[in-house]
Amino acid sequence: MAKVITRFPPSPTGHLHLGGARTALFNWLYARHHKGKFILRLEDTDRERSKEEYVVSILEALKWLGLDWDEGPYFQSQRLELYQKYAQKLFEEGKAYYCECPKEVLEEKKKKMLESGQKPRYDKTCKDKNLGPGEGRALRIKAPEFGEIIFEDLLRGKIVFPAEEVDDFVILRSDGTPTYQFAVVIDDITMGITHVIRGDDHISNTPKQLIIYQAFGVEPPKFAHIPMVLGPDGAKLSKRHGAKSILEYREAGFLPNALINYLARLGWGFGDQEYFTVEELIEKFDIKNVNLSPARFDPDKLLAVNAYWIKVSNNQFLLAHLKPFLSKKYDLTRFPEEYLLEAIETVKTRGKTLVELAEMMDFYLVEEISYDEKGAKKFLIPQMVPVLEKVCKDLENLPLEDKTLEEYFRSLAEAYGFKLKDIAQAIRIALTGKTVSPGLFEIIRVLGKERTISRIKKALNYIFENSF
């Protein structure tokens, strides 16, 4: 088998979204699985809608996802001479001809065909005029008039188009720019693309592209048209379904490997396995295992996948991805890395996003905590003063081990006639300001004796100032 070369050709007319990212992922995985090459190119010939900010955004999103490319990014806007050279070759070989039909005339003919129930197609007015290049003239390819255009899709098997459904379509506009169909094929030929994995909305483009391959006498790549990603309601996926751009998912606190895992499982599977590392995906990915039924986006499932990867990830990895969220609010240089890693360990099983984790870590990173008003009134009460004072005193000499701390607080509750949960909640409020938090013993261990005692003393001051 020749070396596999795949490509991802986004148009920089918008940000990278889930559907495009999944297409990029499948091409990337296929290339990596076969130890081939993955090429990135930007189809930016739409001068009005293509913007530099979208180029930057797309590249940033792919880098964040870890979808590295071996060649590129190539820009179609920088390859115009190449397209013109290939178009000229077809003209010289008599496989294409120039057309001088005005746009308004073509539109009128199209309208009449539609009104009479015919499929709109060019009527070959200029085919035998033997026109050369000139102002206002577009170049059309000579399409076959009879027979069938056939290709074998890697997912769908044989697909057949009647040749008469394809007219002599334009390959070079009158301004010298290539049409989409032509530029794509020239790119794929010159870049040696062996496999084209793309959305099934491109199936209708394939016969035109095969005509161009045939005109050049070039073997076309293998095609695999994957089903689109739909919303939960079965409609085309859009923002109203809660779908965001890839970089918006980054800002919302999703891990790149979680998003990769979720995207891979949108229509592809390997047995009953739900969670995959990137290495496992590369090892196990086979395009033939893509389901032909459209995949449905499930935001709750994506959140669950993210929560799983947060839970099982290395703390160092989580810290690297948490820093942008934490740095917005805190000066992290004030804290030893080990302290931050220990704090992450206490919250990672409780959050579904990095945003939630950053919020949960708040009490570890502030000098002064603020109390949940309702919880403070309920648990920081005068009756708790002797208990808290004793904790401050005893903690100085107490080993910060779960078993020791549990035995200590149980004996304390018994001695003072409190329920253990009431003492625990009072100390929880004192240390975190909240009624819900990670395990109390974990918190004490991470904060350390000095911070723990200092915060309990501040809680005692709060009781004195508000109760006496």
pLDDT for 282-293, tens place per residue? 999 999 999 999
Neighbours of 128 (CB within 10 A): 8
pLDDT of 234 > 90? The answer is no
Residue 468 pLDDT grade (very low, low, confident, very high; cuts 50, 70, 90): low
Average pLDDT, the chain: 95
Query: Please, which pLDDT band fits residue 13 given cuts at 50, 70 and 90?
Result: very high
Residues of the chain with CATH 3.40.50.620: 5-71+229-306, 79-226
Which CATH number describes the domain made up of 79-226?
Answer: 3.40.50.620
Query: In the structure, what pLDDT confidence band is assigned to residue 466 with cuts at 50, 70 and 90?
Result: confident
Query: Catalytic: 127?
Result: no
Mean per-residue pLDDT for 140-149? 95
What pLDDT, in 10s, does the model give residues 399-436?
999 899 999 999 999 999 999 999 999 999 999 999 99
* pLDDT score of 241 more than 90: no
Higher confidence at residue 402 or residue 237?
A: 402
Comma-separated ranges of CATH 1.10.10.350 domains in the chain = 315-467
448 vs 430: CA distance, rounded Å: 14
The confidence band for 244, taking pLDDT boundaries of 50, 70 and 90, is confident
Report, as an integer, the average pLDDT of 171-190: 96
Statement: residue 198 has pLDDT above 70: yes
Cα distance between residue 226 and residue 22, in whole Å: 10
Instruction: Give 5-71+229-306's CATH code, choosing from 3.40.50.620, 3.10.20.30, 1.20.140.10, 1.10.760.10.
Output: 3.40.50.620
Nearest to 360 by CA among 381, 346, 374, 375: 346
pLDDT at 242 over 90: no
pLDDT of residue 1 exceeding 90: no
Residue 9 has pLDDT above 90, yes or no: yes
In Å, how far from its chain's centre is CA 374? 40
Which residues, in sequence order, are CB contacts of 378 under 8 Å at separation 6+? 425
Q: Catalytic: which of 129, 239, 377, 421?
A: 239
315-467 has CATH 1.10.10.350 classification:
yes
DSSP letter (8 states) at residue 133: S
Q: State mean pLDDT over 343-351.
A: 97
Main-chain dihedrals φ then ψ at residue 288, nearest 5 degrees: -70, -10
